[in-house]
Structure 1
Amino acid sequence: MGVLRHDGGMPTGSGLLAVRSSGPLDSYLPTVGHIFRVFDAQDSGCISYGVRTGDNSRWFVKSATTPAGARSLDRAREFHTRIRHTAVIPVRHSFTAANRPALVYPWVDGQVLYHPTVHTRPDRTAPTAPMAHFRRLPLPLVHQALERILQAHLVIAAAGFVGVDLYDGCFLYDFARDRMHLCDLDEYRPGPFTLGTERLPGSTRYMAPEETTAGAEINERTTVYALGRAIRLLMDSGDAESAWRGTSDQLRVVEQATAADPTLRYSTVHELCTRWRAATRHMG
């Protein structure tokens, strides 16, 4: 695979500061720590590792296995140089293996609410599924989780980024601490921009119509749509969207955020947040 080139600093004592290695990544990582998890069945063109280093620190190392995966991680590296929010799991270090990027994140305990692989598409409604567990939480905790998602996207929008490929797999929830985190925001990009392909990557459950329309403008209203869908799906008791747990005022906010015509949506993430908070203010 060639050498690993060190591109940035790591927290002291992490053990991932080696400048060069002639072996592949899965041979290099055991020289700096213990691989305790491998995520090798992803459909994103990436492979990831959980690594525990000698000082007992835990890290999530994500590397590209395809050109598309490399482009995605290059976007992620740019995104994380601009975005800082406590809900967004940060990139602490990056290096290059065989001319492809590898990113190092702190390990965060919790479960992603949906974890598809090349082999399986889990049933979100199964009683033991993370999404089903989340949907059983008391509403104040769901509101708290949604507020974290919205707060992070206020920062993201202010930095000029548009949400792309936001879906259940980006929501990592720590059920022990009742805390929402955002991960895998690798496709977020500076906006607005014109869609030059037939469609953007993403789940159709979250995608705005313009994301599958070549030549359409992708802008902050597109992010508003995705966030509206996140609220709709996380505030429901099931995937059929027939068991809304919120109020009619909250549902009206969601409906405007997810209007098919972008001009009918809230124009900014800030406006969506303001309307959502007003509708939620007295609910805990």
Structure 2
Amino acid sequence: MFPGEIDVLPATYLDQLGTIFARFAPRDSGNVSYGVEFGGTRYFVKTAGDPAATEPYLGFDDRVDLLRNAVELARSVNHPVLPTLHAVIESPAGPLLVYDWRDGDLLGDPVTRERFQALPTAEILAALATIYDLHAALDALGWVECDFYDSALLYDFQTRGLTVFDLDTYHRGPHHNTMGEMFGSSRFMAPEQHVLGAPLDTRTNAYVMARVALVFLPEPPPALHAVLLEATTTRFPSYQAFYDAWLTASSTIAE
């Protein structure tokens, strides 16, 4: 359905393909993404943006590298919370990543986040369960969290469906912090994401996911709060150890 390569710029191709009904161009990232309707189906298309843009923190080549990393991640794991990657189209301005379109409100918006935090605890826990299950799959494949925060989450308040996206910066395998202060929101970041040369690994995944619950769940049940406290103080040796403890604590609540 989609070509492997085009010889025009992404916006030109998408305009010819169907109807562009949304455009997203955050100045700091340099990426430009589109909502496109074609053949009665909606798609989310992400590109590296303008090759000549000088405002973004990352140059064009680095943005392209991150998109190719996103392709590797998408092809390594199949999970319902992740939009399906349908195609990668090469263009003179880098690849176009064609995903499912997902409805929902961005939890990075303060009003939306407060609305989500006000939901019944059971509904928030159900959403967290999908995030944690996804990261169990990613962790098992060696992916290490980078730059995960509330703006990587969409929540559909009608269907109670959660979508996770924009995991382009995740790293395959343990590595070290080469930036010092890494990308991301300090509300979600692990201590090692602030320290140049610090190791980043499965323990980082555990810490960040614990922070996700502490941000979104204002009053976690005591059994879960104990797990989150351990994850962010003495810390678990791995994401799987954190996840196992979370599941055990969750089962006691269900009873």
Q: Do they superpose with TM above 0.5? A: yes
Does the alignment pair 1:38 with 2:23?
A: yes
Q: 2:12 corresponds to which residue?
A: 27
For 2:210 and 2:161, the matched residues in 1 are separated by 20
Alpha carbons 2:6, 2:90 under 8 Å: kept: no
Helix, strand or coil at the partner of 2:88: strand
> Which one of the candidate residues 63, 67, 82 is aligned to 1:69?
63
Greater alpha carbon shift after TM alignment, 151-160 vs 58-67: 58-67
C-alpha separation in 2, matches of 1:144 and 1:235: 11
Where does residue 142 of structure 1 map in the other structure?
124
Answering whether residue 237 of structure 2 is matched by residue 255 of structure 1, we say: no
- The DSSP-based 3-state class of the residue aligned with 2:95 is strand
Report SS of the residue matched to 1:224.
helix
Q: Percent identity?
A: 30
* Contact 1:79 1:189 (C-alpha < 8 Å) held by counterparts: no
Task: Specify the code of the residue in structure 2 equivalent to 1:228.
Answer: A
Partners of 2:252 and 2:115 in 1: how far apart?
24
Mapped to 1, the partners of 2:166 and 2:26 lie a distance apart of 15
2:56 maps to what in 1?
A: none
Q: 2-side partners of 1:219 and 1:82: how far apart? A: 18
Residue equivalent to 1:156: 138
Distance 2:205 2:171 in 1: 11
CA–CA separation in structure 2 for the residues paired with 1:42 and 1:233: 26
The equivalent residue for 1:182 is 164
8 Å CA contact 2:5–2:90 kept in 1: the answer is no
Structure 1: unaligned runs, 5 residues or longer: 1-11, 116-123, 237-244
Q: CA deviation at 1:41?
A: 3.2
2-structure distance, mates of 1:177, 1:183:
18
Q: Say if 1:218 and 1:18 are closer, same or farther in 2 by CA, change over 3 A.
A: closer
Deviation at 1:197, TM superposition (A): 2.8
CA apart distance, 1:228? 0.5
Mapped to 1, the partners of 2:27 and 2:239 lie a distance apart of 30
- Residues 1:109 and 2:91 are matched in the alignment: no
Determine which of 114, 139, 155 is the counterpart of 1:173: 155
* Aligned-partner residue type, residue 91 of structure 1: L
Specify the alignment match of 1:79 in structure 2.
73
How far apart are the structure 2 equivalents of 1:168 and 1:248? Answer: 24
Report the equivalent of 1:277.
247
Q: Which whole-Å deviations, capped at 9, do the CAs of 1:111-143 have from their partners, x for residues lacking one?
A: 12015xxxxxxxx1xxxx211111121111111
Deviation per CA, 1:143-175: give whole Å up to 9, x if none: 110000000001000111001111001111111
Contact 1:221 1:265 in 2 (8 A): yes
| Aligned counterpart for 1:268 among listed residues 227, 238, 241 | 238
Write out per-residue CA displacement over residues 68-119 of structure 1, whole angstroms, 9 at most, x where no aligned residue: 422321221121121211112232211222252221110011112015xxxx
More helix by share: 2
Deviation at 1:195, TM superposition (A): 2.0
TM-score w.r.t. the length of structure 2 is: 0.90
2:3 is aligned, of 17, 22, 25, to 17
Shift of 1:58: 0.5
Aligned length: 244
Greater than 3 Å deviation, 4+ residue runs: none
Paired amino acid for 1:195: N
What is the aligned-residue RMSD (CA, Å)?
1.7
How far did 1:18 drift? 6.8
2:208 counterpart of 1:226: yes
The superposition leaves residues 176-222 of structure 1 with CA deviations (integer Å, 9 ceiling, x where unpaired) of 11111211111111121122232322111111111121111110000
Q: Which amino acid is 1:197 matched to?
A: M
